[in-house]
Structure 1
Amino acid sequence: MAKTLSFAAVHFTVAFGVGYALTGSVVVGGALALVEPACNTVAYHFHEKVWKRIEARREKPAFSASLRV
């Protein structure tokens, strides 16, 4: 969870910077910094969970026909 929270902090900062740079508005930059990264942080958390499941499946040994008796 710490990784997700640190990612969120970086993402909020970048989103604000881009929003402010494009519009010159602190309000628009702030709104982007709150909405867009919050959505992406949730998506990232579930993305990580899915990848952990995929990696766990890859680590399981496959049954081989030669092992059957």
Structure 2
Amino acid sequence: MPTDLAKTFTYLTIHLTIGFSVAYVMTGSVALAGGIAIIEPCINAVAFFFHEKAWQRVGAARKLIVA
């Protein structure tokens, strides 16, 4: 397995574990904590996509100003 893929899976495991643990401590519900731990990374991925698009626009705008 390539290193980048292994790092991605280990990071995902850490992220899900922390998300589940925090949600469980806050709610006391395994079902709710599991739902939060699954849904949050999906929403985060969509937010990251738009974050990257915004930064691409900033980069393009800076190139126009400098040029």
TM range (shorter): 0.5 to 0.7
Kindly tell me: are residues 52 and 13 of structure 1, through their superposed partners in 2, closer, same or farther at Cα, counting changes over 3 Å? farther
Task: Please name the residue that 1:57 is paired with.
Answer: 61
Q: Which runs of 5+ in 2 are unaligned?
A: none
Q: Greater helix share, 1 or 2?
A: 2
Rg: which structure is higher? 1
Give every structure 1 segment of 4 or more consecutive aligned residues whose post-TM-superposition deviation is greater than 6 Å: none
2:32 aligned with 1:20, yes or no? no
Count of residue pairs brought into register by the alignment: 57
Task: Please name the residue that 2:40 is paired with.
Answer: 36
Of structures 1 and 2, the one scoring higher in RCO (CA 8 A, sep 6+) is 1
TM-score normalised to structure 1 length: 0.59
TM-score normalised to structure 2 length: 0.61
Computed over aligned residues only, the root mean square deviation of the Cα atoms, in angstroms, reads 2.4
How far off its partner does 1:15 sit?
2.3
How far off its partner does 1:25 sit?
2.0
Q: Which runs of 5+ in 1 are unaligned?
A: 63-69
Rounded Cα–Cα distance in structure 1 between residues aligned with 2:59 and 2:18: 30
Amino acid at match of 2:38: L
How far off its partner does 1:11 sit?
4.3
Q: Percent identity?
A: 44
